[in-house]
């Protein structure tokens, strides 16, 4: 009996150690690139791709991670996380991932769908009544392409949850600066999720529901605040604020402990500085507070704002490359990671299927506006069809990016996922594409 009691402090110490270690998250199992069918020497070309952008002061630094067959085969950091203090970039640096939040919200929606909380074809108004009876903005004289006069007509049908996931609802973004919708959004106090906002997620979404759509539901792909509406839908259906749902149902189970809406004080030293173009060339650190370019408003300090009630499901998260690789690996594995299943393989298959029919992903906005994010769209991310395979990659590869120069790719055929993170606005899509090509040219089998 005494021996057992003597072991008790040791057992308790081990338990506390395990709890402490779990607080630091988990990494994917590592392997040499050759064990996963890639060439180490060829992966080294990633550095040759990234470094010139640092040297030419287009970005301050970056982190790149590559996983294949459930193993981490490449993780390297480059440059600085803060130029002014010459603070070197680290593998565990925290980035504002902006629109890379959207796939996380889409997974949350699909989890609730699997639980029978709704059908994807359900009208959004069934759960958010303010979306009943919407109207659509149309030119007063459709025959005159130069007309600046607009009116509204009734929507031909309700917006569905599927429309929100596929961005075919007709909801826009204010930052597109498309007259006159941008002005209407601003007058109503609609923002794009890039600045701290008072009130709740529901407050903003309900205001959005009072405004006209830019096209009839299902008529066109139009990238907009759809996923912010989905974030509020998650709150309504689950009864939890979005940050709690993410933490309890997605982030904690996947051990993504460095992913959150607001960076904890203990982690703030790892938050990468945000940069903007300098007037004399190069880049300079973005000012604290809100910066406005046209209709676009953003703030680097949204990541540590005191606001704790507004959660942008389309743009609010911060994360690390290692954390986000765990998320992409979960999708690549058909909805599970390390024995934890969030979704069924059929749900992931549905998400990775084109849902905009024959519509080009660019029918509403040009490729230059977003930057090479596929030619079709699934439920939460862009996709590459055979017609869109213009560079190294695979048909069925899916991807998305954040406005601050973060990017991911998932390729079910090659069983590979890539995460690139830097921190500059506007994005530099060219560097993202070159990193992607550098990974694919390293595949040997």
pLDDT tens digits along 123-165:
999 999 999 999 999 888 777 766 678 899 999 999 999 999 9
pLDDT above 90 for 119: yes
- pLDDT score recorded for residue 27: 78
Q: How far is CA 292 from CA 97, 99, 287, in A?
A: 19, 18, 11
- pLDDT score recorded for residue 231: 98
Cα–Cα distance, 209 to 332 (Å, whole number): 35
pLDDT above 70 for 7: no
pLDDT tens digits along 339-358:
999 999 999 999 999 999 87
pLDDT above 80 for 371: no
| Mean predicted confidence (pLDDT) in 419-432 | 95
- pLDDT score recorded for residue 6: 52
The percent of residues above 70 in pLDDT, for the chain, comes to 91
pLDDT tier for residue 19 given thresholds of 50, 70 and 90: very low
Cα–Cα distance, 193 to 298 (Å, whole number): 8
Count of other CB atoms within 10 angstroms of residue 318? 24
Name residues whose C-beta falls within 8 Å of residue 216's C-beta, 6 or more positions apart in sequence.
136, 155, 156, 157, 170
Measuring CA to CA, which residue among 390, 387, 396, 397 is closest to residue 417?
397
pLDDT tens digits along 262-279:
999 999 999 999 999 999
- pLDDT score recorded for residue 145: 66
Phi and psi at residue 292, in whole multiples of 5°? Answer: -120, 125
pLDDT tens digits along 49-63:
999 999 999 999 999
- pLDDT score recorded for residue 176: 84
Local structure of residue 99 (DSSP, 8 states): G
Residue 267, token pair as written in the block = 């982690």
pLDDT above 60 for 364: no
The percent of residues above 90 in pLDDT, for the chain, comes to 77
For the chain, domains (ranges, CATH) are 29-100+244-389+396-440 (3.40.710.10), 108-240 (3.40.710.10)
Q: Are 51 and 59 in contact (CB under 8 A)?
A: no
pLDDT tier for residue 386 given thresholds of 50, 70 and 90: confident
Name residues whose C-beta falls within 8 Å of residue 6's C-beta, 6 or more positions apart in sequence.
none
- pLDDT score recorded for residue 142: 75
Name residues whose C-beta falls within 8 Å of residue 385's C-beta, 6 or more positions apart in sequence.
354, 374, 375, 376, 395
**What is the rounded average pLDDT for all residues in the chain?**
90
- pLDDT score recorded for residue 363: 59
Count of other CB atoms within 10 angstroms of residue 16? 10
pLDDT above 50 for 22: no
Cα–Cα distance, 328 to 305 (Å, whole number): 27
Residue 156, token pair as written in the block = 């031909």
| Mean predicted confidence (pLDDT) in 172-178 | 86
Instruction: Quickly count helices (H) and strands (E) in the chain.
Output: 13, 19
Lowest mean pLDDT among 211-225, 376-390, 409-423: 376-390
Q: Are 120 and 165 in contact (CB under 8 A)?
A: yes
Radius of gyration of the chain from Cα atoms?
A: 22
pLDDT above 60 for 21: no
Q: How far is CA 167 from CA 30, 212, 301, in A?
A: 36, 15, 28
pLDDT above 70 for 17: no
Q: Is the pTM of this model over 0.95?
A: no
Counting Cβ atoms within 10 Å, is residue 177 exposed (0-12), middle (13-18) or buried (19+)? middle
Cα–Cα distance, 119 to 37 (Å, whole number): 41
Q: Are 63 and 76 in contact (CB under 8 A)?
A: yes
pLDDT tens digits along 187-223:
999 999 999 998 999 999 999 999 999 999 999 898 9
Please, what sign has the CA dihedral across residues 400, 402, 403, 407? negative
């Amino acid at each position: 009996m005494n021996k057992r009691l003597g072991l008790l402090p040791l057992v308790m110490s081990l338990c506390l150690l395990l709890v402490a270690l779990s607080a630091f998250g988990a990494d994917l199992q590592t392997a040499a690139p050759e064990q996963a069918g890639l060439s180490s020497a060829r992966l080294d070309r990633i550095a040759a791709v990234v470094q010139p952008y640092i040297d030419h002061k287009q970005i301050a630094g970056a982190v790149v991670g590559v996983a294949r067959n459930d193993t981490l085969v490449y993780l390297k950091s480059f440059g600085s996380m803060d130029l002014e203090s010459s603070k070197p970039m680290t593998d565990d640096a925290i980035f504002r991932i902006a629109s890379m939040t959207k796939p996380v919200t889409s997974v949350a929606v699909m989890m609730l769908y699997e639980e029978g909380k709704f059908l994807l074809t359900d009208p959004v108004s069934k759960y958010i009544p303010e979306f009943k009876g919407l109207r659509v903005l149309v030119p007063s004289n459709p025959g005159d392409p130069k007309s600046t006069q607009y009116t509204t007509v009734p929507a031909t049908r309700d917006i569905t949850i599927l429309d929100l996931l596929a961005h075919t609802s007709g909801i826009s973004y204010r930052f597109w600066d498309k007259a006159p919708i941008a002005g209407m959004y601003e007058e109503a106090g609609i923002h794009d999720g890039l600045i701290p906002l008072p009130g709740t997620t529901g407050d903003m979404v309900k205001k959005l529901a009072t405004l006209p759509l830019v096209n009839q539901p299902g008529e066109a792909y139009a990238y907009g605040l759809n996923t912010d509406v989905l974030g509020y839908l998650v709150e309504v259906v689950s009864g939890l604020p979005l940050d709690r749902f993410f933490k309890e149902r997605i982030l904690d189970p996947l051990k993504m402990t460095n992913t959150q809406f607001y960076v904890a004080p203990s982690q703030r030293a790892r938050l990468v500085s945000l940069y903007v173009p300098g007037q004399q060339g190069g880049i300079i650190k973005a000012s604290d507070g809100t910066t406005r370019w046209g209709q676009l408003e953003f703030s680097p300090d949204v990541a540590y704002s005191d606001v704790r009630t507004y959660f942008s499901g389309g743009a609010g998260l911060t994360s690390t490359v290692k954390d986000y690789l765990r998320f992409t690996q979960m999708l690549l594995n058909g909805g599970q990671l390390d024995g934890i299943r969030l979704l069924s393989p059929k749900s992931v298959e549905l998400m990775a299927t084109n849902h905009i029919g024959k519509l080009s992903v660019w029918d509403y906005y040009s490729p230059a506006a977003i930057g090479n994010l596929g030619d079709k769209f699934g439920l939460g991310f862009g996709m590459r069809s055979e017609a869109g395979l213009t560079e190294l990659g695979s048909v069925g590869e899916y991807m998305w990016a954040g406005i601050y120069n973060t990017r991911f790719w998932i390729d079910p055929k090659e069983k590979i996922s890539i995460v690139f993170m830097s921190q500059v606005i506007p994005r530099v899509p060219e560097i993202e594409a070159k990193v992607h090509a550098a990974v694919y040219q390293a595949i040997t089998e």
